[in-house]
Amino acid sequence: MLEEGRISNRQAAFLVITTILSTTSIGFLPSMIYQEAAQDSWISILLLTVYGIVVGRIIMSLGMRFPDKTIVEYAEIVTGRIPGKIIGFLYVLFFLYLNTFPIRFFGELSITFFMPETPLVFFLIGIIFAAAYAVRSGLEVIARANEIILPVSLTIGIILAIMLFPQMEIKNFIPMLEKGILPVFKGTYVALVYFAETIVMVMFIPYLNTTRRTRGIIFKSFVVISLCELLAVVSTIAVLGELAARIPVPAIFAARLVSLAELIERVEPLFLLLWVIAVFVKVSVFYYCFVLATAQWLNLKEYKALVLPAGVLLTVLSVVLWGNIADLYEQMVKLVPYFVFVEAVLPLVLLVAACLRGKGGTAGEN
Amino acid sequence: MKIKLFLVFLILHLFVLTGCWNRVELDRRAIVAGFGADKAEEEGKIQVTVQVVDAGEIKAIPLARGGSMMNAVTVYTGTGFTAFDAFRNLSMVIGEKLFLSEVRVLVVGEELAREGLDKVIDFYERDHEPNIRDYLIVVKGGEAKEVLETELRINKIWAYGIDSMIKTTMAHSKAPATEIIDFLKAVESKTTAPVATVIHVLRKGNEENAGEGKSNQDGTTAVQPKELKVSETAVFRHYKLTGWLDEKESRGLLWVTGKVKSGIIVVSSPEKEDKLAAIEIIRAKSKIKPEITDGNLIINIDVWEEGNLGEEQPDTMDVSKPIVLKELEERKKTVIEDEISAAVIKAQELNADIFGFGEAVRRKYPREWKQLEDQWDEIFPTLEVNIAVDAKIRRTGKITKSAEPKP
């Protein structure tokens, strides 16, 4: 075993929640959804929740057939050696590539809103260095850190939403379905990648300390995710209305508008705190998945040696992959089908193949 | 060993935790309190005026010592091809980098407003320092430069004085208090016309004050004794200024948008027509209800208002009698209706949907709206608007009748 640590079901659920929420609710996602679905974004969120639960169930069913292996290992069992290696490599690349988005976006956001003249690479090194430390310490450490971080960030998020309450206008949501149902689906589409980030569970399942009641992980985490997502999207739309479409990070923009009795104003540093700690967990999770998957793919005995090279790779990739911020936004939408393939379609194919070929424990969950 | 490592770790913090890359110490920062934009004399250029706070002057020099201790600011003006360019060019004069986060008012001269506010607003929204909850003010018949150069008594930082003048509009409701974000929301809407607060520069009678002009901090510009006044409304179409609402129409607008917070309504007394009574508005609510019957669009405006009698000029009116208050309520209702219809008529003349009727129709009749949307410019000027006001008088103050000489 490469990883000695074990995490509980609750810790796994917390990791999934932070991973998904960090970029979706406080990041760029509300704006991306709003551009398509306008005032009906909240319906998109509901659809996305259903999608997330379905994909999560597929991933969990697949993983629980092989309760002591990660996807890189059991892909070979299911499909044979060579195709299995290819699939494993796909996941290695996926965990690396998907991680560059939140890292780069973290840098861009900090620059745009807080420190316009600081070089990008300083932010990237900062977050990757912290994440590297977490990854070296192992899964258990990340999970425990997250047990503190998630409640703190949720509390900050809820406080921000409450402070914005006086400026919310319910009329921003009317009329419903003004342009029909199609924009709602479009809004759902752009966010598909992020709601299927439960894919990280394919790397975590062998390290759960119990094989019982794992079904609850997905459902419970999606209840929290959905509620927080709705809170974020609904409050930004209620405050900003049509402005939300033009602002890449509406939540932080909304945070700037907080003004309570002329006493509590400009609370966006609070938001920055929330953003930094949440993104830190997300980056660590994907970083960890990448390093672990690589080690398993190469049949290494130890993954820690890979941490620093992987960090350098992540830093470089996050800088060179996109020339400017417009590039970044475009890629996010363009790459949706590829990511969805890796996150949802491939696990489904593997699950069906495993069932047909009778591989893995049929007992599955519970 | 461990302790040594820990110390190294601590020392490393010195490099990491020293603060942001582009930090500027407070004394090296020129803090801007008010931002003004005008059309420059040179064609196609923009003139920017900033009111910079002299950080040292804020610590109160006791008022009693006399002298011009009301100046805690210096005003600078510069030009450039765009607002940002002009703003940065100012640093050539000031020698410090300007800091915009403390700005509270964005003042725009009439000429530039007529040309279009898009030349300022984008910079204001895009840059990371300014706050789009600052107030947006248009100078009627003047330049922003003139406004920012006007010495105010209410605050040492004059721009903050303007800020409190706008906040005080809630006491009279004769001008809207428009934040930049409100303006932007209206611009984003397809039909709603944005509005902005108006400021006037009142030049006091020159005879008695002649030669008494006070000089600025830098001792160069002589400032004529002037006063500022916040009232009235500037009406825009998209980004361009198209007209004004006077005080009465402004309040009419505020009645419809539900933003009347307080104010005085003057009516003539029911007993003697030449005597007046003043009624204070305590609270008000409004609702815009569009209605389509047989293809005809009608807008119903419902306003509910509650107030107290604040003053009456002594006459025989006995306000302890409910019937008298009823009569006063009737008169107040007529005044409010008057104000609203004046605003509606003016808006229709300007063909500017300042009330957001279009948005109200869109919300209630999304299907019909698709046809109406593109013809809104033709529909709005001839739109039928019904005004229904429900005005109440609840209390009459500490006394009932005013003191009267006994016959």
Question: What average pLDDT does this structure show over A143-154?
Answer: 90
Which chain B residues contact residue A174 at CB under 8 A? Answer: 363
Q: Cβ–Cβ of A114/B128 closer than 8 Å? A: yes
Chain A contact probe: residue of B9, B126, B181 with most A CBs at under 10 A: B181
pLDDT digits (tens, 9 = 90+) for A149-168: 999 888 888 888 888 888 88
Which chain A residues contact residue B101 at CB under 8 A? Answer: 266
Which chain A residues contact residue B132 at CB under 8 A? Answer: 256-257
Does the pLDDT at position A250 exceed 60? yes
From A118, A257, A266, residue closest to B181, measured CB to CB = A257
Environment class of residue A92 by beta-carbon count within 10 Å: exposed (0-12), middle (13-18) or buried (19+)? buried
Which chain B residues contact residue A116 at CB under 8 A? Answer: 22, 128
Closest-CA residue of chain B to A117: B22
Tokens 């979706």 locate to A24
Q: B188 touching A, CB under 8 A?
A: yes
Question: Which domains does chain B possess?
Answer: 26-245 (no CATH), 247-400 (3.30.300.210)
Chain B contact probe: residue of A34, A110, A112, A115 with most B CBs at under 10 A: A115
Environment class of residue B25 by beta-carbon count within 10 Å: exposed (0-12), middle (13-18) or buried (19+)? exposed
Which chain B residues contact residue A117 at CB under 8 A? Answer: 21-22
Tokens 């009406």 locate to B235
Distance from CA of A317 to the nearest CA of B (A): 23
Q: Are B252 and B340 in contact (CB under 8 A)?
A: yes
Distance from CA of A272 to the nearest CA of B (A): 14
Eight-state DSSP code of residue A341: I
E strand spans, B166-221:
195-203, 214-215
pTM of the model as a whole: 0.82
Question: What average pLDDT does this structure show over A40-64?
Answer: 89
Chain A contact probe: residue of B170, B185, B365, B371 with most A CBs at under 10 A: B185
Measured from the Cβ of residue B214, the count of other Cβ atoms closer than 10 Å reads 13
pLDDT of residue B20: 59
Query: Which of A191-195, A260-264, B86-90, B117-121 bottoms out in mean pLDDT, i.e. has the lowest?
Result: A260-264
Residue ranges per structural domain of chain A: 9-357
Measure CA B347 to chain center: 18
Top CATH class of A9-357 equals mainly alpha
The CA distance from B31 to B160, in Å, is 13
| Token pair recorded at residue A120 | 């990008």
Ordered DSSP codes for A102-133: HHHHHHHHHHHHT-TTS-HHHHHHHHHHHHHH
The CA distance from B41 to B145, in Å, is 13
Distance from CA of B188 to the nearest CA of A (A): 7
Distance from CA of B365 to the nearest CA of A (A): 8
Distance from CA of B21 to the nearest CA of A (A): 5
The CA distance from A146 to A282, in Å, is 10
Which chain B residues contact residue A126 at CB under 8 A? Answer: 16
E strand spans, B145-255:
195-203, 214-215, 222-223, 226-237, 240-245
Q: Are A198 and A59 in contact (CB under 8 A)?
A: yes
Q: Are A217 and A33 in contact (CB under 8 A)?
A: no
Torsion of CA A100, A101, A103, A108, to 10 degrees: 130
From A113, A119, A259, residue closest to B128, measured CB to CB = A113
User: 3-state class of A37 per DSSP?
Assistant: helix
At A366, the pLDDT band (50, 70, 90 cuts) reads: very low
Q: Cβ–Cβ of A174/B132 closer than 8 Å? A: no
Q: B17 touching A, CB under 8 A?
A: no
Measured from the Cβ of residue A151, the count of other Cβ atoms closer than 10 Å reads 11
Which chain B residues contact residue A266 at CB under 8 A? Answer: 101, 131
Quote the percentage of chain A above a pLDDT of 70: 98
Q: Cβ–Cβ of B20/A115 closer than 8 Å? A: yes
At A65, the pLDDT band (50, 70, 90 cuts) reads: confident
Residues in chain A whose Cβ is within 8 Å of chain B: 112-119, 122, 126, 171, 174-175, 178, 241-243, 256-257, 259, 266
Q: B405 touching A, CB under 8 A?
A: no
Measured from the Cβ of residue B222, the count of other Cβ atoms closer than 10 Å reads 11
Q: Per residue of chain B (407 residues), what is the pLDDT tens digit?
A: 788 888 887 777 666 665 555 666 667 778 888 899 998 888 888 999 988 887 665 555 555 444 445 577 888 898 999 888 988 888 888 888 788 888 889 999 998 889 888 888 888 888 888 888 889 999 988 888 888 888 887 888 888 888 888 888 888 888 888 989 889 888 888 888 999 999 988 876 544 444 444 444 444 444 457 788 888 899 998 888 999 989 889 999 999 988 888 889 898 888 778 888 888 999 899 999 988 888 888 889 999 999 998 888 877 777 888 888 888 888 899 999 999 999 999 989 988 889 888 888 888 888 888 888 888 888 888 888 899 999 888 888 888 777 777 77
pLDDT of residue A314: 92
Measured from the Cβ of residue B288, the count of other Cβ atoms closer than 10 Å reads 21
From B128, B184, B362, residue closest to A116, measured CB to CB = B128
Distance from CA of B158 to the nearest CA of A (A): 19
Tokens 């997250």 locate to A146
Q: Are A157 and A231 in contact (CB under 8 A)?
A: yes
pLDDT of residue B21: 59
Compute CA distances B18 → A55, A128, A269, B11, B12, whole Å: 45, 19, 17, 12, 11
Q: If you count residue pairs, one on A and one on B, with CB atoms under 8 Å apart, how many are there?
A: 44
Closest-CA residue of chain B to A109: B128
Q: B362 touching A, CB under 8 A?
A: yes
| Token pair recorded at residue B404 | 């009267």
Cα end-to-end distance, chain B, whole Å: 104
Q: Cβ–Cβ of A243/B362 closer than 8 Å? A: no
The CA distance from B157 to A289, in Å, is 56
Q: Cβ–Cβ of A257/B132 closer than 8 Å? A: yes
Q: Are A314 and A126 in contact (CB under 8 A)?
A: no
Chain A contact probe: residue of B131, B164, B189 with most A CBs at under 10 A: B131
Which chain B residues contact residue A259 at CB under 8 A? Answer: 133
Q: Cβ–Cβ of B184/A115 closer than 8 Å? A: no
The CA distance from B155 to B161, in Å, is 5
Q: Cβ–Cβ of A256/B181 closer than 8 Å? A: no
ipTM: 0.78
The CA distance from A245 to A183, in Å, is 13
Q: B21 touching A, CB under 8 A?
A: yes
pLDDT of residue B138: 92
| Segment holding B291, helix H or strand E | strand B276-293
pLDDT of residue B24: 66
pLDDT digits (tens, 9 = 90+) for A72-108: 888 888 888 898 999 999 999 999 998 998 898 888 8
The CA distance from A132 to A110, in Å, is 20
All residues at 6 or more sequence positions from B272 whose CB lies less than 8 Å from its CB, including other chains: B315, B316, B317
Task: Please calculate the CA angle B274-B277-B283 and round it to the nearest 5 degrees.
Answer: 150
All residues at 6 or more sequence positions from A82 whose CB lies less than 8 Å from its CB, including other chains: none
| Token pair recorded at residue B120 | 């300022």
Which chain A residues contact residue B362 at CB under 8 A? Answer: 175, 178
Q: B82 touching A, CB under 8 A?
A: no
Chain A contact probe: residue of B99, B133, B134, B289 with most A CBs at under 10 A: B133
All residues at 6 or more sequence positions from B386 whose CB lies less than 8 Å from its CB, including other chains: B298, B299, B300, B301
- Parallel/antiparallel/unpaired status of strands B296-312 and B214-215: unpaired
Region label for B356, one of left (φ > 0), alpha (ψ between -120 and 50) or beta (otherwise)? left
Task: Please give the backbone phi and psi of residue B101, each rounded to the nearest 5 degrees, phi first.
Answer: -65, -20
